[in-house]
Amino acid sequence: MVVINSNQRKPIFLYIGFLFFCICFFLWPLRAPNNNSNGSRKSSSLVSHPSMLHHPNLPDVNDPPAWQNTTRVKAAFVILTRNNELDALRKTIQQLEARFNHKFNYPYVFLNDVEFTEEFIELTSSLTNAETKYGLIPKEHWSYPDWIDIEKADRLRKEMEEKGIIYGGSLSYRHMCRFNSGFFYKHPLLQDYEYYWRVEPSVEFYCDIDYDPFLYMKENNKKYGWTISLIEFEATIPTLWETTKQFIKENRELIAKNNLIDFISNDNGNSYNLCHFWSNFEIGDLKFLRSPEYTAFFDYLDKSGGFFYERWGDAPVHSIAVGLFLNKSEVQFFNDIGYKHDPFIHCPVARELQLKCHCNAEDNFDLTPNSCMRRWVELR
Ligand SMILES: Nc1nc2c(ncn2[C@@H]2O[C@H](COP(=O)(O)OP(=O)(O)O)[C@@H](O)[C@H]2O)c(=O)[nH]1
Ligand SMILES: [Mg+2]
């Protein structure tokens, strides 16, 4: 028979106590109906979000719904799209209205590099009671700037295409990325707004959003909000980080004191770890994009030619800017907004958040190897 004396018992009790603590601390928030071993293990910090009960900024459960508060932010959805994406976009707007905007009625700004068709205007405006505006992008925001060597750009595009790099051969994709990086917020239709929510055709919204994320951003001094973060294709941005480092060297005074460099670099800024916020979803403060530091950064990148000679995406550009110019408290992870842009899904896994969603927590991208969520969670 095994006999345990009193000296041995003490460590055993301690061990059992510790085990119990670990179970409560790590597993309690994970009691999602469909927990599995890979996608749904989350630490408690992953489930914090503005619509959780007990959040300091939220009213008591007995208070009237948030949309009955008539305070609205100067904000709009911004949708850059082509006429031929109409059907994909209608599906997206239908979900966005059903999940959020029929309660809050924020306006839509549609942007295009060619005129929108009558059909597009009719079949999008009919899906919402909110105001809809349709804008043509000025030519100078969607064309080569005069310092670009067009023959060199043509040749490098061809080379990227031959290497099989995604969108490597597309000129319009490059105009799109450059426009989203440095121009959409300068469009006349956006001048009256303080915040934007970027939406693309085909994206899906899986959960009811019963509070106003714009108001949340404003009241909590948040400047950038996201739902999915991931690793960039390195072949699209070979010199982006070197160019950024040169910018930093020449503009040290513009870098935030408590910046988020550890989200985008594993070695204190020496190299880029390719982490970025997926910019097909963004809720942001337009003041940030219009700030002197963001303007200086975009202009510097633009002058280097990488939007055309390589294939710099607006996602790494925005994310690096967030990493350099903001601090963590100004950046919001919208865990509660269930969202899909093919092929990835952010689906909240906590049971409280699942209640009003139609996604499967097992499909959540956050803790898969290509997600940068762990990096985010580890940030102090
Ligand atoms: N007007 C216009 N919109 C474009 C063009 N290319 C892309 N977009 C829009 O830009 C956004 C990103 O393009 P998308 O094809 O979804 O790129 P991906 O998400 O990186 O695969 C979407 O909202 C598209 O509708 C273009 O040539 N003209
Ligand atoms: Mg897309």
Q: Tens of pLDDT along 248-271?
A: 999 999 999 999 999 999 999 999
- Region 164-177: what's the mean pLDDT? 98
Q: Residue 270 has what pLDDT?
A: 98
User: Band of the pLDDT at 325, cuts 50, 70, 90?
Assistant: very high
> Which sequence spans correspond to the domains of the chain?
73-378
* Ligand 1 atom nearest residue 199's Cα: 23
Is pLDDT above 80 for 61?
A: no
Look up residue 50 and give its amino acid. Answer: P
pLDDT of residue 17: 56
What is the per-residue pLDDT for 40? 34
pLDDT of residue 70: 85
Residues in the chain: 380
Helices 86-96, 118-125: axis angle to 10 degrees equals 20
Q: Which residue CA neighbors atom 4 of ligand 1 most closely? A: 81
Task: Say yes or no to pLDDT of 342 above 70.
Answer: yes
Tell me the HSE value of 222 on the side-chain side, using a 13 A CA sphere.
22
Q: Are strands 224-226 and 229-231 parallel, antiparallel or unpaired?
A: unpaired
More confident residue, 15 or 188: 188
The percent of residues above 70 in pLDDT, for the chain, comes to 84
- The yes-or-no verdict on residue 359 having pLDDT over 90 is yes
In contact, 106 and 130? CB cutoff 8 Å: yes
Which pLDDT does position 298 carry in this prediction? Answer: 98
Q: Among the listed ranges 176-180, 234-238, 352-356, which one has the minimum average pLDDT value? A: 352-356
At 312 the pLDDT is 98
Residue among 77, 80, 199 to mutate when testing ligand 1 (max atoms within 8 A of CB): 80
At 280 the pLDDT is: 98
Span of 20-29, 40-49, 304-313 with lowest mean pLDDT: 40-49
pLDDT digits (tens, 9 = 90+) for 66-112: 988 889 999 999 999 999 999 999 999 999 999 999 999 999 999 99
Query: Among the CATH numbers 3.90.1150.10, 3.90.550.10, 2.40.10.10, 1.10.1740.10, which is that of 73-378?
Result: 3.90.550.10
**Ligand 1 centroid, distance to 176 Cα (angstroms):** 6
Question: What mean pLDDT do residues 327-355 have?
Answer: 96
- Give the per-residue pLDDT at 370: 97
Catalytic residues: 282
Residues with CB under 6 A from ligand 1: 80-82, 85, 112-113, 172, 176, 200-201, 280
Q: Is the pLDDT of residue 38 over 50?
A: no
Judge whether residue 53 has pLDDT over 60: no
This prediction has a pTM of 0.86
Distance CA 352, CA 95 (A): 21
Taking the centre of ligand 1 as the mean of its atom positions, its distance from the CA of residue 177, in whole angstroms, is 8
Sequence-ordered list of residues with C-beta below 8 angstroms from that of 96, at least 6 positions apart, any chain? 77, 199, 205
Whole-number Å distance between alpha carbons of 293 and 347: 34
Mutation test of ligand 1: which of 77, 78, 82, 137 has the most ligand atoms closer than 8 Å to its C-beta?
Answer: 82
Instruction: Please report which helix (H) or strand (E) contains residue 215, including its range.
Output: helix 213-219
Instruction: Provide the sign of the torsion angle of the four alpha carbons 193, 108, 232, 213, taken in this order.
Output: positive
Mutate to test the pocket of ligand 1, among 81, 114, 143 (most ligand atoms within 8 A of CB): 81
174-213 per-position pLDDT tens digit: 999 999 999 999 999 999 999 999 999 999 999 999 999 9
Q: Is the pLDDT of residue 50 over 70?
A: no
Distance in Å, CA 344 to ligand 2 centroid = 11
